[in-house]
Amino acid sequence: MAATATPEVRPDIGQDEKTDSRTDREPGYLVICWNDPVNLMDYVTHVFQIVFGWQQQKAEVHMLQVHNQGKSVLIRESMEKAEFYVHSLQQYSLHATMERD
């Protein structure tokens, strides 16, 4: 009687499933700054640097988004951190809100 070869079964090591990284993350909140007719552009840039610790160039990019597009999504954070950032921006008289991502 001839021996039959048994197919070799190997685990799928090294094969990664493609997943949507957005669904893998915990729910987050977007911190949004809105345009207003009161605050000067240099002031808004300065506040972004203070609150977020950003370099001037990054702060200016977001300030220009606020100025030209009416708003800028500044950061995505946990609910607690987003609330902290919104409150901090509001203390500097900026119109800031948060929304669930």
Answer yes or no: is 66 within a domain.
Answer: yes
- State residue 80's pLDDT score: 96
Per the structure, the count of domains in the chain is: 1
- Give the span between the Cα atoms of 83 and 38, in whole angstroms: 23
Q: Is residue 47 part of a domain?
A: yes
Cβ(94)–Cβ(31) below 8 Å = no
Question: Looking at the domain assignment, is residue 25 inside a domain?
Answer: no
Percent of the chain with pLDDT over 70: 74
CB burial of residue 16 (10 Å; 0-12, 13-18, 19+): exposed
* pLDDT exceeds 60 at position 45: yes
**Residue 52 domain-assigned (yes or no):** yes
22, part of any domain: no
- One-letter amino acid for residue 98 of the chain: M
List the domain range (segments joined by +) for residue 84.
39-100
- Residue 9: inside a domain: no
Residue 9 in this model has a pLDDT that exceeds 90 = no
pLDDT digits (tens, 9 = 90+) for 64-101: 999 999 999 999 999 999 999 999 999 999 999 999 99
**Paired strand residues for 98:** 31
How far apart, in whole angstroms, are the C-alpha atoms of residue 47 and residue 41?
10
Confidence (pLDDT) at 7 = 59
In a domain, 65, yes or no: yes
